[in-house]
Structure 1
Amino acid sequence: MSLHDHDCIDSAETEPVRGIGRRRVLRAAVAVPTLTIAARVSLDAGMPTAASAAIPSLPDTVEILDVADVLNLAATPTMGLLLLEVGADGRARLELPRLEMGQGIATACGMLVAEELDLPMSKVDVPLSDARPELLFNMYTGGSSTMRILYEPLRRMAASARAKLIGAAANRWDLSAGELETRDGTVVAPDGRALGYGELAEEAASVPALRATPKAAGDFKVIGHPAGRLDALSIVTGKKQYTMDLRVPDAMPTMVRRPPTSRGVLVSINNKAAVEQMPGVLGVVAIPESHGIVRIPPGVAVMARTFGQARDGVAALDVTWGGGVIDGHSNETLNARLRSALPPLLVPQLGAKVVEGEFTWAPAAHAPMETECAIADVRNDSAEIWGSFQIPIVAMQTIADEIGLPQNKVRLHVVPAGTGLGRKAFWDAASQAAQVSKALGRPAKLMYHRADDMRHTRLRPPQVHRVRASMLGGQVISYEHHVASIELDLRIGLGEILSQTAMAMPGGLRNAIGDRVYDTATFLTMVNSPYNFGVSTKLFWPVAIPMDVTAYRSVHSQPTRGVEEIMANEMAMALNKDEVDFRLTFLRNERYKEVVRRVAKAAQWGKEMPAGHAQGFGFHTESRSTAACVVELDARDPKHPRVTKATVVVDVGKPVNPLGIKAQMEGGIAEAIALTLKAGVHLVNGLPLEGSYSQYHWTRQRDYPHEVEVIVMPDSGHPIGGVGEVGMTAPTGAIVNAFTRVTGIRPRNFPINFDVDFTPFPPGALPPPAYDN
């Protein structure tokens, strides 16, 4: 049944999706009052207070309204359609309308349900919801927004379900609901009688909907306490099902030959018939580049009975390609274009001390462990798609249009991902799999080769930063920061096809307000300066280059705020101040300062370090959360520096799962080490050189600090903040600042050590299989 303020509707069995059974006894949707709660944007959540020892700066846009606030407002109208059920087995089942991609949101949301239902976590299931177009903007995973959006609605939903279960027991025992309590999945009477939720679920479905108030924080038994991931056992035992692991009947392995340059044009397949005669090959299909709202990358697909045979077929193809969209471009030419977009900085005030610099950040790949993969079964009158989607509704709608089916004839199943970080906001593999399945009349299980997943992916765009800080009389009187970046591809809209179309079509919203205004608005709802730096300006200059780019974890904040943390240290040096004391002087509010004090104490800031070693400090605030980090760096060999210890203190306002928050901070440290020290993409003639983990120098076990301490601050009384984005920037600043302290070098180009120390694979060809090496 559906729980609303005014009615009750008995649930009905829905037609089962192949391989995915569904049963519902008590179904609860979010009560109407939750819509009011969910729509409240905390305008004072991050507002600064003036620091008496610093010249106050005006608040950043993000302090008033950030990207998660925008997503929250967009999600609010359909919040009443989210689904929670309690079955005859006494288990709770929440259909999560977001993608679990390792960030732990399924567990955290399960904790909210378990808390308000007084149910053990072992009796809570949180499967991912199929694409549901009726949810409109409410299936968008990104911007560290999930817990900020769902924290109150899910608690109210579960509290309402609990009230209905109590009502059912009260009716059966002819008692007042106020006399009853719930405990471990049962309703208990004053005389000790107890009924399990499973026994009450059917009766509860007919109990009138009740307004229920979630628990006060002082009564929490689950929220705020460490909890292991719901899927931890299945992950460590190999039972976790990712897209690659799914066994959809008759889905045939499929791989794709791709051009030797980014988005090269398919001209001809010169030996199609010969490849089709190879052992196990079932078909060869041209995938021309589409020019729809979100393009399908070009390629030639080979379907076979095994992936080995598909790979052999791809390697044997003789294909003629035309030029790509960024042929001739390299990191150097792109940086030159970005520099030319930046206006000169203002002339500093006469007599002021000046700290300035120009910084570059190389393109970066998401590099997930699971390469792009999707399964599609396209028939004459229907289709089913399986894959990992951060924005599943628009993916389903777009694929339906591409294969010529009505949207209500396409089912899209969201499968957990090992990681997403923005890459899963696009659905290239699913579009390709659907095209191949339609052409060959068979289900296709399409998987990218590792080399293609790095070379023909969507990258974090390169950036160039130009910064100048002016100081006078011991004060920072101005901070000017200009950022040039290749324009992000944001045609995904807010998660469904109408806003997507508005963002993409000529004359649409994006064109009407101007690309620069639109991208600047995106930048300004993400990047937040925590300091009182006098007259402080940040200007964003997007450059239109047809390069495949997309969002990346903390895509604008990590490089922009990372640069600001480097500049903060250089300003501290110019004023002869300790870098922690400098921040305590110029940070905007006491919440920030408390995090700084806590990490400095925990890490023993200022302690004596061995020769060639140094501590470094970094601070960050984003998504209504705050983090500070101290690292210890061994840079006796500046070409191979290594972080040996990291201490992080993080304040997320209202921690739901401290264990999950710690895991996110540990992941942020790993990413900061990679992107700051050695992981980037070299573009040469329009194609990344990197094509494997041996070439893309991501953080390995040997690179990670042996000692990591993450301190999660208790509930601070502030609104709940996000976790995914906030963990990268403080370690970024800390690593660079430690490097400068120990080597005397002030890095300006990142990653710091960025050599081509490998032999690239030939463009347009797959490397030999590992078993041939």
Structure 2
Amino acid sequence: MQGVKNTSRRRFLLGGVAVTGALVVGWGVMPPRQRLNAALPLPVHDGSVALNGWVGIGKDGTVTVAMPRSEMGQGVYTALPMLVAEELDVPLSAVQVVQAPIDKIFGNIAMLKDGLPFHPDDTGRLKATVSWIVGKVARELGLMITGGSSSVKDAWEPMREAGAAARAMLVAAAAAEWSVRPEDCYTGNGFVAHADGRRLAYGALAERAVTAAPGEVRLKSPEQFKLIGHPQPRRDTPSKVNGSAIFGIDVRPTGMLYAAVRMSPVIGGTVAGVNSAAALKMPGVVKVVDYSSALAEKTGAGAGVAVIARSYWQARQAALALDVQWHDGPLAGLSSAAIYAGFAHQLDSEDGYAYYKAGDMNVVEGKAAGVANTVNAEYRAPYLAHAAMEPINCTAQVKGGKVRVWAPTQSPGFAVDVAAKVAGVAAGDVELHVTMLGGGFGRRLDVDMIAQAVAIARQADGHPVQLIWSREDDTMHDVYRPAALARFSATLDAQGNVLGYDNKSASGAISHQFFKRNLGLPPGGPDKTTAEGEFDMQYHFPNQRIRHVIVDSAVPLGYWRSVGHSHNAFFKESFIDELAHAAGKDGVAFRRGLLLQHPRHLAVLNAAVAKAGKAPAGRAHGVALHQSFGTIVAQVAEVSVEGTEIRVHRVVCAVDCGLAVNPNIIAQQAESGVLFGLSAALFGEVTIREGKVEQTNFHDYPVVRLNQAPEVDTIIMPSAAHPEGMGEPATPPIAPAVANAVFKLTGKRLRSLPLKL
């Protein structure tokens, strides 16, 4: 897409570069921070030796691989070891994972770079320079975060390089042992071999390899891959089936007690007083604590009261028996209606931040000659909770000036920092154990539950305490996907060609809240997540403008699976269908005409439509195409309507995510993303009344059940491009695909989520 780029974005980005100028001079000319050797040793055992910060090898040939990302169902315990095993030339079965220490080499660079507010079609020095600077800053920050569908994308180079470097060291050790040239040796199945038939197992070479001087380290080319690109079974499945997998809620340190909390029903409320007499008389109750003062303003965690008991049931029942008085605070009158009214007012009165401009704004605004028709529409989306199956939990022990934390977290670095802050110790005095996550979806990027657990454990006389939120606690005290309001206007000529396209939306800004909670950074500047999926589309409109207005949110906001794409795809893809209808064209044909400059997107769309075939009688096909986290997804939803019930029978999901590291996991993530997005499309809605979240549990915040789940056919497009994200991209297109099918069946254009007839 060509055109005049938005000058306000250019000024903002160049201003950021200027501010960091002192850092760039001197520091900027240095090579990027290496990602091979950590400051802390790789945790290896039983005589294993570390060949670099990622890879260790035992005497029996077992390969230990550092795992810097959290396993929350997306398959990183399989996909990331594949990268090392491929380059190291060992069977995947020979690899075991250990939790990576907190170190900058494990920081997530791809996630931060993906947050830059550039259009995918932007080229030139500005984008390259800013991306380079942010990449270097990301290496220095070294934030260990699992999110943004970035695990494989970020690990693609460093983990392969770690495996290749270890392999080169082993080859060098064998060559020295045999007094031969390294180039005359080859590897396979955990052995170094020579043409004359001699061979040595990696385990026998590991100690010598530590001091070996490797020659040139070369990565394999795709045609040499034996593991990458081939389906591999999930390595975490057996433990999850037999029950041996350890999730946060499974942790059982010696002497552990349990805690349940009471938090203000009003957003931002605080404790005014508590009568704990009745609770203290109940069986198993050890102590009642007000942990609010330990959290203060610095952690982002809500104030409240906790009961510590010998079982969770005892703690929960006693917590419900507490007589707590609350200061409701200034948000006691907050309502969803007022929030949407505020969005509308801001859209009426504010220009907003222009993320993208191209062409003539007179055409966009319908002031130019040739305009025959103008199409206007307003869409809205509600707040959403995460509703992960594993309840919010954290186990903490504060004893002897040390802190131990067991947590299913997506942000180990933030977890350590907040634990140290609440306990009043140095970060080096915090020992963190990251368990498996029973669903993350962005909720466990925040560390409020860790702050609470440590604050409570401070008053537990050295006992470990496992804090567990009830489902009601979770639903009513989440950090929510933002609500949003979006307006569209497009001008068409007499032939149905789109001359101008205008989109302005309003919502809160997640990053403003998240980075203040977790890094203490003041809010400010644009937030890409507010407009992603709107400004960075690939449809070609010669004249267009996409803007967003940030409205400060009293409701706590957090990253939700696919973030801004989750609602902006619904807005954009529904309006594209409206334009097709106004132009008198089929939705698929209309999209094809807008994608002539983007053959990869067109190929994905065509693949999904071809696989879907013709809709059976009484059903209709709705189509949506959307790119997020680098991955292009087209979906065709096969839908029927019975009375007011919308039923989705089948979804064809075509994806281009670059090179498919493990096709099995990609298909699983596509299916997961569709079902997660469908739950939100049909049911998901968090509403605010008198400052309180009205929904409490799955009876009034339902998800798709087994009998409502559609068949999902996944098509993985062949590609040799750099791997892109897959954990989230299948979520955004499902809502508009279903809504577009409903329009075909009923003639009703549903412009609000959840979809209701």
TM-score normalised per structure 2:
0.84
- Is the counterpart of residue 108 in structure 1 residue 79 in structure 2? yes
Matches within 5 A, 1:207-218: 207-218=212-223
Task: State the shift of 1:99 in Å.
Answer: 1.9
Task: State the shift of 1:107 in Å.
Answer: 1.3
Of 605, 623, 627, which residue of structure 2 is paired with 1:621?
A: 627
Match of 2:48 in 1: none
Match of 2:426 in 1: 406
Match of 1:597 in 2: 606
- Is the counterpart of residue 741 in structure 1 residue 744 in structure 2? yes
Once the two structures are superposed, residues 302-333 of structure 1 have per-residue CA deviations (whole angstroms, 9 ceiling, x without a partner) of: 11111111112111111111104532222222
Once the two structures are superposed, residues 639-683 of structure 1 have per-residue CA deviations (whole angstroms, 9 ceiling, x without a partner) of: 221110111110111111111111111111112211112221122
Tell me which amino acid in the other structure corresponds to 2:608: V
Of 234, 238, 241, which residue of structure 2 is paired with 1:229?
A: 234
- Is the counterpart of residue 119 in structure 1 residue 125 in structure 2? no
CA distance in 1 between partners of 2:615 and 2:241 (Å): 40
| CA separation of 1:90 and 1:140: change in aligned 2, threshold 3 A | same
Task: State the shift of 1:632 in Å.
Answer: 0.4
Of 167, 173, 180, which residue of structure 2 is paired with 1:162?
A: 167
Aligned length: 671
Match of 2:668 in 1: 663
Q: Secondary structure at the match of 1:641?
A: strand
Are the counterparts in 2 of residues 633 and 641 from structure 1 also a CA contact under 8 Å? Answer: yes
CA distance in 1 between partners of 2:533 and 2:647 (Å): 34
Q: Secondary structure at the match of 2:98?
A: coil
| CA separation of 1:465 and 1:371: change in aligned 2, threshold 3 A | same
Match of 2:18 in 1: none
- Is the counterpart of residue 650 in structure 1 residue 666 in structure 2? no
- Is the counterpart of residue 477 in structure 1 residue 499 in structure 2? yes
Are the counterparts in 2 of residues 137 and 494 from structure 1 also a CA contact under 8 Å? Answer: no
Tell me which amino acid in the other structure corresponds to 2:501: Y
Tell me which amino acid in the other structure corresponds to 2:170: L
Q: Secondary structure at the match of 2:549?
A: strand
| CA separation of 1:161 and 1:550: change in aligned 2, threshold 3 A | same
CA distance in 1 between partners of 2:652 and 2:516 (Å): 36
Tell me which amino acid in the other structure corresponds to 2:566: Q
- Is the counterpart of residue 77 in structure 1 residue 33 in structure 2? yes
Match of 1:278 in 2: 282
Task: State the shift of 1:522 in Å.
Answer: 6.5
Matches within 5 A, 1:245-324: 245-270=250-275, 272-288=276-292, 290-324=295-329
Are the counterparts in 1 of residues 91 and 190 from structure 2 also a CA contact under 8 Å? Answer: yes
Once the two structures are superposed, residues 230-258 of structure 1 have per-residue CA deviations (whole angstroms, 9 ceiling, x without a partner) of: 10111122111101011112121111112
Match of 2:386 in 1: 366
- Is the counterpart of residue 753 in structure 1 residue 724 in structure 2? no
CA distance in 2 between partners of 1:492 and 1:251 (Å): 31
Q: Secondary structure at the match of 2:454?
A: helix
CA distance in 1 between partners of 2:459 and 2:443 (Å): 26
Task: State the shift of 1:719 in Å.
Answer: 2.7
| CA separation of 1:385 and 1:668: change in aligned 2, threshold 3 A | same
Tell me which amino acid in the other structure corresponds to 2:573: E
Are the counterparts in 2 of residues 603 and 630 from structure 1 also a CA contact under 8 Å? Answer: yes
Q: Secondary structure at the match of 2:433?
A: strand
- Is the counterpart of residue 451 in structure 1 residue 469 in structure 2? no
| CA separation of 1:133 and 1:111: change in aligned 2, threshold 3 A | closer
- Is the counterpart of residue 88 in structure 1 residue 59 in structure 2? yes
Q: Secondary structure at the match of 1:696?
A: coil
Q: Choose 672-681 or 132-141, whichever is displaced more.
A: 132-141
| CA separation of 1:131 and 1:122: change in aligned 2, threshold 3 A | same
Q: Secondary structure at the match of 1:400?
A: helix
Tell me which amino acid in the other structure corresponds to 1:614: A
Once the two structures are superposed, residues 225-282 of structure 1 have per-residue CA deviations (whole angstroms, 9 ceiling, x without a partner) of: 1112110111122111101011112121111112222232101111x24422321111
Task: State the shift of 1:205 in Å.
Answer: 1.3
Of 573, 593, 596, which residue of structure 2 is paired with 1:585?
A: 593
| CA separation of 1:528 and 1:76: change in aligned 2, threshold 3 A | farther
Task: State the shift of 1:579 in Å.
Answer: 1.1
| CA separation of 1:178 and 1:130: change in aligned 2, threshold 3 A | closer
Once the two structures are superposed, residues 331-355 of structure 1 have per-residue CA deviations (whole angstroms, 9 ceiling, x without a partner) of: 2221111111113797424633222
Task: State the shift of 1:602 in Å.
Answer: 1.2
Once the two structures are superposed, residues 456-504 of structure 1 have per-residue CA deviations (whole angstroms, 9 ceiling, x without a partner) of: 1111111111111211243211111111112325455499x7xx23x23
Are the counterparts in 1 of residues 641 and 742 from structure 2 also a CA contact under 8 Å? Answer: yes
Of 680, 683, 686, which residue of structure 2 is paired with 1:681?
A: 686
Once the two structures are superposed, residues 700-740 of structure 1 have per-residue CA deviations (whole angstroms, 9 ceiling, x without a partner) of: 112211x221011112x433211123111222221111111
| CA separation of 1:207 and 1:719: change in aligned 2, threshold 3 A | same
Matches within 5 A, 1:321-336: 321-336=326-341
| CA separation of 1:298 and 1:741: change in aligned 2, threshold 3 A | same
CA distance in 2 between partners of 1:295 and 1:624 (Å): 31
Are the counterparts in 2 of residues 394 and 492 from structure 1 also a CA contact under 8 Å? Answer: no
| CA separation of 1:76 and 1:525: change in aligned 2, threshold 3 A | farther
- Is the counterpart of residue 557 in structure 1 residue 565 in structure 2? yes
Match of 1:43 in 2: none
- Is the counterpart of residue 609 in structure 1 residue 616 in structure 2? yes
Task: State the shift of 1:92 in Å.
Answer: 1.6
Tell me which amino acid in the other structure corresponds to 2:593: T
Tell me which amino acid in the other structure corresponds to 2:33: P
CA distance in 2 between partners of 1:158 and 1:280 (Å): 52
- Is the counterpart of residue 731 in structure 1 residue 734 in structure 2? yes
CA distance in 2 between partners of 1:117 and 1:374 (Å): 36
| CA separation of 1:410 and 1:243: change in aligned 2, threshold 3 A | same
Match of 1:10 in 2: none
Q: Secondary structure at the match of 2:526?
A: helix
Matches within 5 A, 1:169-248: 169-248=174-253
Q: Secondary structure at the match of 1:440?
A: coil
Q: Secondary structure at the match of 1:364?
A: coil
Tell me which amino acid in the other structure corresponds to 1:568: I
Q: Secondary structure at the match of 2:498?
A: strand
CA distance in 2 between partners of 1:489 and 1:590 (Å): 33
CA distance in 2 between partners of 1:526 and 1:408 (Å): 43
Task: State the shift of 1:188 in Å.
Answer: 2.2
Are the counterparts in 1 of residues 490 and 500 from structure 2 also a CA contact under 8 Å? Answer: yes
Match of 2:445 in 1: 425
Q: Secondary structure at the match of 1:585?
A: helix
CA distance in 2 between partners of 1:553 and 1:78 (Å): 31
| CA separation of 1:292 and 1:259: change in aligned 2, threshold 3 A | closer
Tell me which amino acid in the other structure corresponds to 2:551: V
Tell me which amino acid in the other structure corresponds to 1:366: H
Task: State the shift of 1:197 in Å.
Answer: 1.5
Tell me which amino acid in the other structure corresponds to 1:486: G
Q: Secondary structure at the match of 1:103?
A: coil
Q: Choose 520-529 or 194-203, whichever is displaced more.
A: 520-529
Of 486, 489, 493, which residue of structure 1 is paired with 2:508?
A: 486
CA distance in 2 between partners of 1:229 and 1:625 (Å): 22
CA distance in 1 between partners of 2:460 and 2:712 (Å): 52
Match of 1:672 in 2: 677
Are the counterparts in 1 of residues 272 and 325 from structure 2 also a CA contact under 8 Å? Answer: yes
| CA separation of 1:59 and 1:624: change in aligned 2, threshold 3 A | farther
Match of 2:543 in 1: 535
Once the two structures are superposed, residues 167-217 of structure 1 have per-residue CA deviations (whole angstroms, 9 ceiling, x without a partner) of: 222222222222222111122222333322212111211212443111000
CA distance in 2 between partners of 1:77 and 1:99 (Å): 23
- Name the % identity: 31
Tell me which amino acid in the other structure corresponds to 1:697: P
Are the counterparts in 1 of residues 639 and 648 from structure 2 also a CA contact under 8 Å? Answer: yes
Match of 1:394 in 2: 414
CA distance in 1 between partners of 2:417 and 2:271 (Å): 26
Tell me which amino acid in the other structure corresponds to 2:457: S
Q: Secondary structure at the match of 1:374?
A: strand
CA distance in 2 between partners of 1:484 and 1:543 (Å): 7
CA distance in 1 between partners of 2:735 and 2:99 (Å): 33
Q: Secondary structure at the match of 2:637?
A: strand
TM-score normalised per structure 1:
0.83
